[in-house]
Amino acid sequence: MKLLKAGKVITIVMEVIAIIGAVLGLSVVVMAFVNPQLLLENGTFNINGIDITKPLHLIENPSLPMALVFLTGVVTMSITALMVHRMHGIIVETMAGRPFQPCTVKWMKQIGYCAVAVPLLGAVMSIVAMLLSVDGLHATLDLGGLLMGVLVLCLTQVFAYGLELQKDVDELL
């Protein structure tokens, strides 16, 4: 029970941080068009597998790659906020003694889809960058996040089975 209480607090804190991160990310997207040199001096930059690999002074128009990278960060933080919010709901249901509920199965499915969507977002943004011929930008696919999402989707089936068992027990009583 202590672990669930700690998880409840941690998910609230993580959700607030993710929301703040998304809002700050939006302001940085605007800053990428106002003055991208303030955001990055030299070297590389990475958000969610999307990299800026050239120093900005070597990129012809640095605003577009910076905006794409930070916009991806905003979407990622928004998805993370949703995932953590759903985790919090699952913890609350579990603490109440109701882990096998239709809402829990639905929330786990949403967490799985979001976990799969985050690494795929980087790949999609890489394709967008290639189509727009954005200089100095490339992306990679995070297989760890993708596998975690698939694992959560598999666990969703276990919870769905637990929900069916719970219904059967309730009908017998």
pLDDT digits (tens, 9 = 90+) for 60-74: 777 777 777 788 889
What is the rounded distance in angstroms from the CA atom of residue 121 to the CA atom of residue 113? 12
SS3 call for 64: helix
Counted domains in the chain: 1
CA distances from 162 to 93, 151, 158, 166 (A): 14, 17, 6, 6
Most confident residue range from 43-57, 99-113, 140-154: 99-113
Using a pLDDT cut of 90, give the percent of the chain over it: 40
- 97 lies in which domain range? 2-172
Q: Is the pLDDT of residue 49 over 90?
A: no
